[in-house]
Chains A and B, each alone.
Chain A
């Protein structure tokens, strides 16, 4: 009884922060080659079109609302306001996308499902719905790693991409890596790490302690507000599949960014990528450290650009991992340079 009451309180606390999508949001479902339905939300451009549609993909333990938190913190709606039709995607098992059902949709899927099955389905769907030959792409954290894996293995349909805080190596001798190794390592095959439940459980505790562990790891106080952060963990989080978790553990332990079977070396193969990519890092990102993000930049074939968000480069505040997508000034300090990068490459043909 006590547990039920606590659970209800936690759910209530998380629900309190809920922000519905606006009327302009159009819900769609794309189907993958292995039969999963993925939730996508379309935001038509609200001003005359200025270029290709942009596909937005979230990070680990997250869903599409990371890129579309609320009226004032939404990369998707901001792009639409700049003349770019924007599409958010919830990868399998997250947000409103299909979850594993233990029958046709097996649990325990790995990171490989994201780049091999989900991303091609989403790209094809956007192309079919819009008539565009290709799309631009923004991936936050693991969403950028999905792009790296996809492009490194010859994925098509992306004209230009941007990764925000996306590491390709996780062996820098830090506690966040130890946390991934220990925290993710115990998840049995076929299970999931209940990160969303955990996030909901602590919504009410956020902001009570100055510079608490969440602030230290995920965002910079004063750049992202506590209210935005509460919303993010209230409805922007998701559980992590055991297969995805074990692939990240391998990334920490072996320092190799490879497929689950070890056959495909994404990092090595990034050298063959010719799609333009802007690699964005945040100075105080304590999860995807700047050296970890820069490693991906070095590995890319090119054309490529490196953008370090920091006060020394003109930002008004330092950025942490989540500030890149929900920070108070992200639209001017992060998203604007990304859009400018897309626009610079809009008219160019790349081999």
Chain B
């Protein structure tokens, strides 16, 4: 048994009459407590969708005071699970590494989902691990995948990102002064359409610091160009076997999971990857950044709708 389901509790009284939201505490094999939220619509005939946010973000990336992909998908008839792996939201631990997330957390999360198969929305660097999990830890359980800027080639995204990681990955503290806020915007929210207050509250309340151990591990992953998994495998080698039907959305203004690092997924994997690069020339309201892909003012119309259309298409 990879993980142990400890308890289920109704946690949400948020205003969706037909939407029950519950949280489960899931314990990974190494004892770390994770969180799994379930959004249950009244009627659904499709597989559930598991949402994995990038490191430093958590459930709130998909459900920010009622706004976001979790409730949007649920309102469109999908059962939705949102995972919080170590370092995210309720699952925060003092130190973590990406390899541990893949080795312990993702198997435990999947074990806590009762449905035999599920679809995945994967975001950012943590999302890349979800893609990798579909090859082994989640083998046979994953249907389609929506990739929201999941890197498939690994390098430090920018000099600014390097400086932030070298400084312990204090991304939640970036809003403390104008310079920090500017850095946050360049990395995660460049040219995004948020109201000023919304971005400010997203920055201060949604994001979690990586901490020194995770920062070192992320930096090692990015600078070495690969990640050694707990099994001793290479992540790049694992991704070669990735074969899930995938649609990949890339924001041109993404400064954390750069589109050029993500777009190579179709080159390095066995998957059939449908690509959409979003930019303002595409009659879209913005060029889309790491955060606005999830919480941009027009994301429901310009991003979520395309994701759902893909998920609802019958497999060829």
The 8 Å CB contact of B262, one of A291, A295, A310, A313, is: A291
The answer to whether A313 and B160 have CB atoms under 8 Å apart is yes
The 8 A CB mask of A184-226 against B (1 = contact, 0 = none) is 0000000000000000000000000001010011000000000
Closest Cβ of chain A to B187, distance in Å, is 6
The 8 A CB mask of A263-304 against B (1 = contact, 0 = none) is 000000000000000000101101101110111001000000
B42 within 8 A of A: no
Closest Cβ of chain B to A349, distance in Å, is 28
B258 within 8 A of A: yes
Summed over the interface, the residue pairs from A and B with CB atoms below 8 Å come to a total of 87
The 8 A CB mask of B260-299 against A (1 = contact, 0 = none) is 1111100100000011110111110001000000000000
Chain A residues, CB < 8 A from B267: 295, 298
Chain A residues, CB < 8 A from B277: 172-174, 289, 291
A22 within 8 A of B: no
A180 within 8 A of B: no
Give the contact stretch, choosing among B109-117, B220-228, B248-256.
B248-256
Residue of A213, A216, A312, A314 with highest tally of chain B CB at under 10 A: A312
A50 within 8 A of B: no
CA distance A211 to B286 in the complex (A): 12
CA distance A173 to B310 in the complex (A): 14
A106 within 8 A of B: no
B49 within 8 A of A: no
The answer to whether A173 and B275 have CB atoms under 8 Å apart is yes
Chain B residues, CB < 8 A from A293: 260
The answer to whether B187 and A291 have CB atoms under 8 Å apart is no
B158 within 8 A of A: yes
Closest to A215 in B: B280
The answer to whether B263 and A172 have CB atoms under 8 Å apart is yes
The answer to whether B276 and A314 have CB atoms under 8 Å apart is no
B157 within 8 A of A: yes
CA distance A295 to B268 in the complex (A): 12
Closest Cβ of chain A to B12, distance in Å, is 36
CA distance A295 to B187 in the complex (A): 22
A311 within 8 A of B: yes
The answer to whether A294 and B160 have CB atoms under 8 Å apart is no
Interface residues of A in 146-167 (CB under 8 A from B): none
The answer to whether B253 and A284 have CB atoms under 8 Å apart is yes
CA distance A175 to B283 in the complex (A): 8
Closest Cβ of chain A to B193, distance in Å, is 13
B interface, by DSSP: helix, strand, loop or mixed? mixed
Closest Cβ of chain B to A218, distance in Å, is 9
CA distance A175 to B161 in the complex (A): 30
The answer to whether B259 and A310 have CB atoms under 8 Å apart is no
The answer to whether A312 and B186 have CB atoms under 8 Å apart is yes
Closest to A169 in B: B263
Given A284-B252, A291-B250, A308 contacting B260 (CB threshold 8 A): yes
Closest to B264 in A: A298
Residue of B259, B267, B276 with highest tally of chain A CB at under 10 A: B259
A171 within 8 A of B: yes
Chain A residues, CB < 8 A from B282: 174-175
CA distance A214 to B238 in the complex (A): 42
Closest Cβ of chain A to B188, distance in Å, is 10
The answer to whether B159 and A314 have CB atoms under 8 Å apart is yes
Chain B residues, CB < 8 A from A286: 252, 279-281, 287
The answer to whether B158 and A313 have CB atoms under 8 Å apart is yes
Interface residues of A in 311-342 (CB under 8 A from B): 311-314, 318
Residue of A176, A211, A213, A318 with highest tally of chain B CB at under 10 A: A318
Closest to B186 in A: A312
Given A284-B253, A310-B158, A312-B160, A289 contacting B259 (CB threshold 8 A): yes
Closest Cβ of chain A to B221, distance in Å, is 18
Q: A294-B261, A310-B255 are in contact. List 6 more A-B contacts (CB 8 A).
A: A171-B275, A216-B281, A286-B281, A286-B287, A314-B159, A318-B191
The 5 A-B residue pairs with the shortest CB-CB distance in the complex, in nearest-first order: A291-B263, A312-B158, A294-B260, A290-B260, A312-B160
Subset of 14 A-B contacts with CB under 8 Å: A174-B277, A175-B282, A216-B279, A283-B255, A284-B253, A286-B279, A286-B280, A290-B258, A294-B264, A298-B267, A311-B190, A312-B160, A312-B187, A318-B190
